[in-house]
Structure formats: C-alpha cells, structure tokens
Chains A and B, each alone.
Chain A
C-alpha cells in the first residue's frame, strides 16, 4: 500500500478500533445486559463458533441482494432511458414507476413468498429489484436530460443525430448520476434482502437467522449476523465505488484536483 493509501485508510480504521474498545469497556464497567447490547468480544466469539452457518447465510442473502440489484438496475436504467427519450414512454412509465416506488415492502414481501415459494431466491430478489428500481430510474432520467443547453446547441451545430447526441453527450453526462443511484441501491439491496427474509426463507438466511437467534435469546450470534449484513453492504458499496473509478477516471481525478 502506498503512503497516501495508508493516510487514507488509517483514520477510519483507528476510529473503528477506538469505538470497539470504548464499547467493550463501557459495557463491562456499566454492567449492561447482553440482550440490550452484547460486548464486541461476545459477538466476535459467536462469529467464530457460528461461522459455517453464517457463511452460508451471507452467501444466500448476498446472492439475493446482488441478483435483485442487477434486475432492478437494468430495469430502472432501461425505463429511465425510454422515459427521457420518448414522450409516450414518459406518460406511460412514470406513473407506473411512481406507483411501484410507493409499494409498502412489508406488505408486499409475504405475497412474493406465495409467488415463488419461501426457499427460492426470487421473492427477495423481487423485493430488492422493486426497491432499487425507482432511484435508478429517476437518476438516469435526470442524468440524460439535465445536460448543459450549450452542449446541446453545440451538437446541433454539428448536425449530430439523436443517437450521436445520446452516445457522445447525454450518456456520459448521465454516468455520475447513475453511479450515485447505484451507490444508494447497493445499501438498499442488502436491507431489502434481509427484511424480505423476515417473512420466510431457508433457516440460515441472515434475516431468518437474526429473527430465530433473538427469539432464542442468543443475542451475540444475532449481532454477528447483523455485522455480516453490514459487511456485505460495505463490500457491495466498495465494488460499485471501484467500478465508478474504473469507468469514470476523469471524475475521480477532478475531485482530487489533479
């Protein structure tokens, strides 16, 4: 790791470690019951002892989150593109999309179980896709339409076709908006998958596991699953951030003022 890399990573890691230490020590000193908040050391030992179950859970929930994310992002992008391109699509799709975004997920989740069966990945993928769809669509529309009018006139002065204006101006212009949506979507995806599992699924899935373990007063292992769900969200977010840097190196360079 480079020197600047260390400088970038050291502060958050130091803060994280300090919080853990403070957490551990203050719970010990204040004598807080473990059902209120278990000590980090207890969570860590559960992580180790329950590892084989937890890993299966992370894999399952992660697959749901990623699958739903991909479906939702593709549909949201396509609908956003169509909406910004054709007036008819705008009139038809936008009300539907707004309607879809207002679906109460809690009420919707049990229905998806009836559709696909609780053991399938599809109920949670559907929930995640529905949650992710709207922010992606709205940001895609914004990115494709919120273009510098001067740049549009420039393209017009070159007698550029609609297609060329799309690929050379609107598309690249939309990328930062689209990635912002994707960042929001990754965190939503993990939440959607875990909450969706509260209503059914295989016993090792993170959402079910958390419900079962709290039901049996095994709080440290429930917390271990929560920690892994967070880690899953963070990893997905970092992947998106890396993808963003790879696809739009100019944006990262501009932000850092180089």
Chain B
C-alpha cells in the first residue's frame, strides 16, 4: 500500500475481473430514515451494493438522492435504520475505530493554526505515530500531491485546489485501504477539477486503494470510475450500475474518445429515467458533440 515511485503503474492496476477481489464494502437492504413520525424523511431505501478491493466506485444522482448519506453510513458518521452494512467484513463502527478508511469532504477542513505539513500529520498524531515517522510520511505525501514547496505555509495561503490536495494527502497519510470522498472537487472550477481528476486517477493507480467517490458531475464519474452507481431521489435508491469499460490508463485524451461519450450518455440517460419526461432535448449533449465531431 505504501507508494513506491519505482513501481511501474500498470503493475498495481486492479486485476480484472474485480469480482474475485476481496469485498471492502457490502450493503444489504440498507435504509436510512431521518426523524420519526409524520415528519420522517426517507433518505435511502433498500440499497444493495458490494464494492471490491481496488475498485473506484462513483455514487452519482440528483441532490437529495442520499449519495452523501450512503457514504456517511460507510464512514460510520451516521447509522442505518434498516439493513446491514459492513466495511472490511466488520460493522462500520468497528472499521472506523480500526482507522480502516480515510475521508475527504467537500470542504478541505484544514486547521488554520497548523502548517500544511502539520495538517497532513494531524491523523498521524492522533494515531500515535512517532515524530520522525510523521515527518517522513508528510514529506512523501507532499511530494505525491506536488506541494513540497508549501510544507511550511498555512492553509489560507493556498488556492482551493491546493487545499483539497492537502486534504487528500491527509486522508492518505495513515495508509488506509479505503478512501471515501464526498464531492471533493465540487467547489472547484472546471479546469482545476479536470486536473485534480487526473491527479486522483494517478494516485489511485499508484496506491491500489479502493475509492468510493460521491459526485454530481457525470464526466467526472465516468472518467474516474471502474463503476458508476446511479441513484434516484425520494426515496434514495440505486437505479442502475454502469460498468465503465474504459482502458485503465486514462488521460485527458480519454475524454475525447467514442467509448467515453457513450458512457457519459448512458449515465445521463440512467439519471434521466427517473425524471419527468418533459425535461431536456431528446439528443444528449454528449451525442451532439460526438456527432459534430464525426461529421
């Protein structure tokens, strides 16, 4: 799991088919109701989902579909009201206590009073790593997210994209096998977001970590994932799972391939199925762009 720069990237690719890899997350009939009585809101209903080691699974859906709730259930930041959920074969609470996962939120949540390096060391301090070990890991991760020059700066001196990279480095600092990301690039501009996508892709390939990624961006979900889980709202449930058969090696050019557009369209149509029929043109944007490109 540690990052070995000398290791060829292809060597750590998940061995397909992933079905044979160990199960990391397993949800069976998971439901979540907020509140009680007539004011109760069903955020999630009968969610079945299995995520294997080395997968990159995106959860996508309209706001209110419970995609963040599902992620927070896995993280044990909230508890299911129905069904069973396990992380690494354990109840989520046990997995959290065992520090099985790292989490990245939409906001970077950096501590202003700590330098960038010290922010990355925060979980290591909590988990009782020795100081030399903390320093070593922080330096290694700063290199991974290409922020070595900013080790002694403070959070407010960094741009939003850089801050989010620090948050990713911090989540990876203690070598978790599972990375949970809740719309981590949602607040970034499109250019920065695409660059961050490429960086995350490279981190995932180099570490072989399992990633569960919540997003509302279709291109982002397709570009990053091995599987896209499409969810629908009220109550939140999984409406479709789209396997992404893009080559594992992905770059900016991937976004211009036929397969990519086809997948984007598939996810978009899956999302649209649950919406009223009068919305949007029959031809999707991806199809239009592709047709123009071909003519």
Contacts and interface: CB of A to CB of B under 8 A. Distances in A.
B77 A250 contact: no
B154 A160 contact: no
B105 A150 contact: yes
Given A157-B101, A172-B111, A250 B154 contact: yes
B24 to A, nearest CB: 16
B155 to A, nearest CB: 9
Contact of B154 (A154, A164, A168, A253): A253
B295 to A, nearest CB: 48
- Please classify how large the interface on chain A is, using the bins under 10, 10 to 19, 20 to 34, 35 or more: 20 to 34
A158 B112 CA distance: 19
Which of A154, A159, A250 has most B Cβ within 10 Å? A154
A250 B109 CA distance: 16
Interface residues of B, number: 23
Nearest to B105: A150
B123 A151 contact: no
A248 interface: yes
A158 B127 CA distance: 8
Contacts of B16: none
Contacts of B154: 250, 253-254
A156 interface: yes
A154 B122 CA distance: 10
Nearest to B96: A159
A248 B114 CA distance: 10
A153 B171 CA distance: 13
A61 B99 CA distance: 56
Contacts of B97: 159
A175 B113 CA distance: 10
B126 A160 contact: yes
B126 A250 contact: no
Interface in A165-224: 168-169, 172, 175
Interface of B: 75, 77, 96-99, 101-103, 105, 107, 109, 111-113, 122-123, 125-127, 154, 156-157
21 contacts: A148-B109, A150-B109, A153-B77, A153-B105, A154-B109, A156-B77, A156-B96, A157-B102, A158-B122, A158-B127, A159-B99, A164-B126, A168-B122, A168-B125, A169-B111, A172-B113, A250-B112, A250-B113, A250-B154, A251-B112, A253-B154
